[in-house]
A and B are shown apart, each in its own frame.
Chain A
Amino acid sequence: MCETGETNHEPSTAGETAAHPAATLRLGHLYPDQLNVYGDRGNILTFQRRCAWRGIALEIAPIGASDQLDPAAYDLLFIGGGQDREQEDIARDLRERKGPALRAAVEAGVPLLAVCGGYQLLARFYRPAEGPELQGAAIFDAWTIHPGKRVARCVGNVALRWNETTLIGFENHGGRTYLGANARPLGAVLSGFGNNGEDAREGCVVHNAYGTYLHGSLLPKNPHLADHLLALALARRYGASEAARLLPPLDDTLEWQAHDAMLRRVGVSPTTPRRLLIP
């Protein structure tokens, strides 16, 4: 159906950086050993490759459950999703150790991507079907209520309107998330459940922190969101105009083919423009 041939950006080994990088970014990956269930590696890999293809060095630092978090140490933060019992341990670590530092980083404008369980954990609280309420890091003015095992989970492909473009992903969550009165959603649900299947809103954005239920992995098929987060990170460190220079367009033909194929599957027409780069 389509010959892709060689990509014009010579693929290099993941994690490899140019000898003289044009810029350097430091990505803090929160709880990589516990929160890694829903293809979260694809998000990290997307940051990695899209930086490498532009000669940007991306240093990835795992931040484990017993580590202290230095709010000034990272240009970009990522937290993924995990199994329920692991999320209890993480909630405790956020409460007792990292919560204030993480809030400080977000308030200072550090871009953060929180997917699925990570999104729930960074909101106000998670009320399980049974058992005690889990306090979250309260970065997002949102909370999650699990309606019980007898209520169907929100599972399936999901498409959002995000600014003038679309986002596509897969969601699988039992909990329903509700936003506070002044909280801003990430996007409007075009197909799928989103936060709760009721108000057609998905995710939450505060400062440069993005919480969402979308995986799939999220970033490979949404290269404009990946570049947007990279642009935010570069702009903080190098200034907006330098960020634009450091992020030339890539050949994203395949990324958009995969994006559009799933959009069409759920009955949503692909949009232009594709890019939404500089904040």
Chain B
Amino acid sequence: MVERVSPLAGLTGAGVSGLVGEAGPGVRLSTRTDLALWQVAAWPDTAAAVAAALGEAVGAPPPPPGEVSRGPRGALVRVSPLKWWVIDGPRPDVDAGLGVALDLSHEQTPVRVEGRDAAALLSRIVAVDLRDAAFPPEAFAATGGHHMMLKLWRRGAERYEVFVMRSYARELWSALAASARQFGLESA
């Protein structure tokens, strides 16, 4: 297997920096090179059937807009009215007449933002309402910030994953890292 090279190579793993108090760094930034991402696009008359088929594939019911549905075989989210993402799941097997599948595993780069100050840090980049009532775990937003298109997934109480187009990845990381220092940053 040939090793995948992250666009963030050289920026990650820088350790702890910034204003770190007794409670430790407030933010941890990291990435991964094992992202499997498939986009499936349908048409208005086939959308429901495709959603159901994708739900079967990941092992969870198809989610309403703005929410990720997590199953044993992957995660499913609707990123636009006719498009779904299958995250870390199998290659979708979509009937030709119902929809089309596209491998975006290299097109998007995932950046993990974790820690007690993760939401505060993200508020420097996106204008999405990140308060618990508006954006609970498994919430998902197709949004943008700093002139970049971003997809934001809240994966836990203090864990977020941001998806950005690969060519912008270093810019996003730099912006996050610069603002994160005031919270205490761990670059993993």
Bound together: no
User: Taking beta carbons and an 8 Å cutoff, which residues of B are in contact with A?
Assistant: none
